[in-house]
Structures are given as structure tokens and as C-alpha cells.
Amino acid sequence: MKKVGIFVHSRWAAARRLADEVTSFLLNHVDTIWAATDWDDAATAKDIPGTDLLICLGGDGTMLRAARSVIPHPIPVLGVNMGRLGFLAELRPNELMERLPEVLDGRCRVEERTMLQVQVPSWGVTYHALNDIVVGRESVGRPMYVDVWVDGLRLAIYHCDAVIVASATGSTAYSLSAGGPILHPESRDMVLTPVAPHLATVRPLVLPPQTAIDLMASSDKEAIVSVDGQMDRPLGNGERVSVCRSPYVARFVRLSGPSQYYEMLAERLDWLRVLRASGHPELFDLNGISTPK
């Protein structure tokens, strides 16, 4: 590797201190090092071309911004979780300096994550998202109507608070809290999840990768389109929102095996909490196989 970037959460002192430590280490290993905060779009755009690795120091929100910032360049991102849950990051801060030489030597794998793209004719620009695209109301209140088409055919008119189109990565984000299913992170499928639908018969749908989804909101209040929960744009009444799989993918550096995703998922969602509270540690050992503690 010749050029490495460091993407730092702008408001966390611990992330800035770790960035200084990483920079000192990299001085003897790569030719070029650059650093930017997660909100410094101009600096990031200038430095991204030619970068071989982007080290991301922050939480999941920082990882989302990093994944979008490298488009269209196929740059792998190494996430270091400085936040709370950390679904997207690979390492904890105390692991980074020990494991970084493995990454620089190529002793790792790169996991590709499907992204979404969204277009609204009046915008004249295409946005890309790693987690989700949400059509909803700008303010809380009464539900809105969202007309949904799948591959050009009308699917439903949802009476709900919002409609989420999520990637596999986003299936553990807002969609999960709205009752959507969890997809394997390397799945190319999408999840269509209504939020607080008026009818109990309405259920989330898993749609194949090539699906084209169109949404049209009808509301007496202004609607918005939210990209990864980080960028909101107003949506006119009756404007059509087109969502499909993006031609770009996010690339995450992994030092763990693919099956370890489930171990991480159980830990992050605390699925073993009931067993821990039972006071019977032997329940964690099934046929001699130790499960995460």
C-alpha cells in the first residue's frame, strides 16, 4: 500500500488521539497519509483518488459517510468502532495497532456490501446510500399515504408513518426497529418495510436485487426523502421517488471469517441476555462448543 487515508469522527477526542497514533505508525509503512473529518467533504474528495485504504475511526454513522465518500473509487474501508453498537466496524480501538500490520500486508479479506441509489426527477442528481432510503413525513403527526410500485406494477398504497427501502446492511438499522427481517450483510436483496402501518396485515417484503421500486407520497404536510438518515431532501406532493440497487458497492476490510457475523450479531443485539441472567453458565457450552460470552 502506498496511500492511506484516515476518516475521523469530528467531535470525538478519543478518535482524534487514535488518529495521531495511527499516523505515527504509518509514517514508516506508506508513502502518503491524509486525514479528514467525517464532515469535511471537500478535503475528502480531494484526497480520495489513488487511496489504497481508508481507516475509519468513529461509529456506524461515520462508516456510512465513509462508504458514500469513496464513490466511485473501489477503496476498502477498515472500520474501528469508537461508538456504541458498531455493526459495521471490524475492530475495537485497543485492537487497531496490533492488527493494522495484517491489513497493510494484505492478510485480510474484503467484504462487498450492496448500496442503493435514489432519484427524483426534479432533483437532477442521484444519491447513493449504504443503509436505506426512507420516504416519510417531515414532522410527526397523522400517517401519510405512500403509493408503491415494484417493477412498474402497483403493489400497495400504505397508510403509514414512512416507508423504508433497506439494503442488507440497512436491515439491522431503521428497518429492524420497524419489524423488518435481518439479511446476511453480503446479500444483494432489498427490504421494503412500512413504518407503523395502519393495517395489521401489512408486512415487510424481501425483494430481489434487480427490483426497481417507485414510491409516491401523499400528505397534507411536507414529505421528505432521507438518505442513510444523514441527508434529508424535501419531496413535493405526488413526486415519484425511484430506488434501485446502486452500481457501486461498499468494501469493508475483514479480519474475521464470514460466519463470525452471526456471533457479532448475537453480541450486538444481546440475544444471549436471558441465558446470562439465568445464572447457569453451563448453558453456554453446548456439546463442548463454547458460545460467545
Residues with catalytic function: 60
In angstroms, the CA 165 to CA 57 distance is: 27
Residue 277 phi/psi, 5-degree rounding, is -75, -15
Alpha-carbon torsion 101, 262, 86, 245, what sign? positive
